[in-house]
Structure formats: structure tokens, C-alpha cells
Amino acid sequence: MFTNFPFFPQQASEQAATVDALYFFLVAVSAFFAVLIALLIVVFAVKFHRKDDSQVGEAIHGSLALELLWTLIPLGITMVMFVWGAQVFFHMTRPPKGAMEIYVVGKQWMWKVQHMDGAREINELHVPTGRPVKLIMGSEDVIHSFFIPDFRVKADVIPGRYNTLWFTATKAGRYHLFCTQYCGTKHSAMIGWVTAMEPADYQTWLSGGAGGGTMAENGAKLFQDLACATCHLENGQGRGPVLKGAYGHQVLLQSGQTVTMDDAYIRESILTPQAKIVAGFTPIMPTFQGLVTEEQLLQLIAYVKSLGESTGTGAASTAPPPGPVQKQR
């Protein structure tokens, strides 16, 4: 009945090997100490087993040297774990520049994926091997968590913010995708498959899958439909800041603080425009809360991002600083 008796998940990403190395170290240390303690206890309990009922133990008060020994040695070992674990963690939380970006939206109870070129999937994620992939993830309702065991990566997907996760798949194949943050009735059905493909196969898949335009194209259309374009003019004469070339740059706010124009800031500016007002503008932008879906938000972000990538002009150092509108209340 049980022919499948696995001990380890597959190693299908660059991260998997580094995490497994750490795991083996932790297992080795743990096994050593667990066996040591168990052995000592059993040996002592047998060797010093009470011979007659009146016998008492030898009174030993303690030993400072031993106490120091078994405080400092574990401390030293745990500090090795700490540093090693922190290195792996830093690597896992810092996606390399130029990673391929894919947007993910979690909702009860499915995963919706949008590729930059417009291809969409549900409960499936196709990625090429050998190339860093960065997932930018938001939730429509409650907290979910995106977990690919064979890649050893996981990140919570939280409503109201974007969390990211990145990996480089190393082996073509199909891998489990699980939601690991409890999210209600069908939490255990909020699962899917990640398909890692050779780059050439991936290109073929993409060309078959793309339908109604790229994410940036869809975002550009929304930008017109929602009338964003009437204020955010490209020539700097509009009532809203110039968005062209602004992505990734610092924005000076009315309050005197600065903020980096990233996915989270664009999202906030669309949903709560009054929150961070750009210096030199009036607070006239209405909220789009309830008017745009999570996926449309991501398309708008992709569009603004594409404006930044296509030109080198309009950097934050030149006035007026880009970003959404306005003045302090």
C-alpha cells in the first residue's frame, strides 16, 4: 500500500540545497545532544540504581566550571546556527535585480497568477528554470501563505500589503503549491502546482497562454478608463505628479519626508490618496477603494513600472517630484 516512503522533499530550486545543508547541520547537532542526554540518563539510572531502601545519593552541591561549560558550549553552537540561518535568510529575502516578476493574488480559496505578458493562471504557476523569479503577492480577503516545499520557500500573503518571495527553479517538473496560513473552510484545498520548464518550453507555453495584452497594456487601458490620465499628464502640467520614469525613485512629500515609489506606495496612493501627499500638489485625488480589484491594482502598478523602465527622465531629483497628488490637510 505504501510504496512511497519519502524522507526529504525534492531539491528543485537553488534555495533548496542551501536550506537542506543547514537542516543537516541542525539535525546532526540535535541528534548528538539528544543521544548524549539519553545515554547519560540511562547509564546513570542503571548504574546508580537503588540497591537497598535506606540508601541515599551522594550530596554534590554543583560545579561552577561545569555550569560555565554547559552554558558556553551551547551558546557557541547556537550562535553558529544563528549566523548561518541569518545568511540563508538574507539570501532568501533579497531578490536579485532583474528577477522575472510575476504577480499573485490569493483569495478564499484560490491562487490567481498574472504574468507580465498578460498570461493568467489559477492554482497553477509556470516558471522557467535557471532564472530568478520574484513573486509579488497580495490578498483579496484574509491572510494566506504561499509555500512551495520542493523550493523551500514560503511567504505570507497579507491583505493590504505586498509581500514578495523569490526562487530560481533548477529542475523541470511539477511541484506542490500549498496555502500554509489557515484561511477557512477550504484552506486545505487552496493548493495547486508549480510547473518549472526549460526556458525554451516556457517561451512556447507563454506564447500559447497570453490573451488580452500584457499586464502593462491592461494597466495603460485602466489608466485611461479610470481617468487617471486626465491629471497625471506626462508634460508636468497636470494636477497630479508625473509618473513617467518615477518608479523606484525617491519622492519628496509635503511633510518633508521622502518615500520610495514602489509597489506598496502606488497601491496606497490609489486606495488612500491622502495618506502621503507629494510636495507641491493639492489633495484632490479621490480614492479608488472599491473601484479597482486587487488584480487591476497590480496591472496599474505594472503600467507605472513600465513607464519608469522605458525612459530615464523624470527622476525624483528634478522638480516637481512624481507620485500622486497634493498638499497637507
Distance CA 134, CA 147 (A): 14
Instruction: Output the smallest distance, CB 168 to another protein, in A.
Output: 15
Q: Count CB-CB contacts under 10 A for residue 262.
A: 14
The answer to whether residue 286 forms part of the interface with another protein (CB under 8 A) is no
The answer to whether residue 155 forms part of the interface with another protein (CB under 8 A) is yes
Q: Which stretch binds another protein (CB under 8 A): 97-105, 159-167, 204-212, 234-242?
A: 159-167
- In this chain, which of 5, 98, 211, 312 binds another protein, going by CB under 8 A? 5
CB 283 within 8 A of CB 277: yes
Nearer to another protein, 49 or 97 (CB): 49
- In this chain, which of 99, 116, 131, 154 binds another protein, going by CB under 8 A? 154
Q: Which stretch binds another protein (CB under 8 A): 153-161, 206-214, 243-251, 303-311?
A: 153-161
Handedness of CA 289, 214, 231, 269 (dihedral sign): positive
Distance CA 252, CA 260 (A): 9
Instruction: Output the smallest distance, CB 129 to another protein, in A.
Output: 20
Handedness of CA 114, 117, 119, 121 (dihedral sign): negative
The C-alpha cell that represents 295 in the structure block: 488584480
Distance CA 104, CA 139 (A): 8
The answer to whether residue 315 forms part of the interface with another protein (CB under 8 A) is no
Q: Determine the residue type at 55.
A: Q
Nearer to another protein, 282 or 289 (CB): 289
Q: Which residues pair with 91 in a beta bridge?
A: none
The answer to whether residue 329 forms part of the interface with another protein (CB under 8 A) is no
- In this chain, which of 11, 12, 88, 116 binds another protein, going by CB under 8 A? 88
Q: Which stretch binds another protein (CB under 8 A): 186-194, 219-227, 277-285, 293-301?
A: 186-194
Using CB under 8 A as the binding rule, the residues of this chain from 33 to 62 that contact another protein are: 33-34, 37-38, 40-41, 44-45, 48-51, 53, 55-62
Nearer to another protein, 186 or 313 (CB): 186
CB 124 within 8 A of CB 114: no
The C-alpha cell that represents 219 in the structure block: 494597466
Instruction: Give the residue ranges of DSSP H helices in 141-293.
Output: 199-209, 215-225, 263-271
The answer to whether residue 167 forms part of the interface with another protein (CB under 8 A) is no
Query: Which residues neighbour 288 within 8 Å (Cβ) at sequence distance 6 or greater?
Result: 226, 270, 271
The answer to whether residue 225 forms part of the interface with another protein (CB under 8 A) is no
Size of the site for another protein (CB under 8 A): 90
Q: Which stretch binds another protein (CB under 8 A): 15-23, 126-134, 239-247, 307-315?
A: 15-23
How many CA within 13 A on the CB side of residue 276?
Answer: 21
The answer to whether residue 163 forms part of the interface with another protein (CB under 8 A) is yes
- In this chain, which of 96, 184, 199, 236 binds another protein, going by CB under 8 A? 184
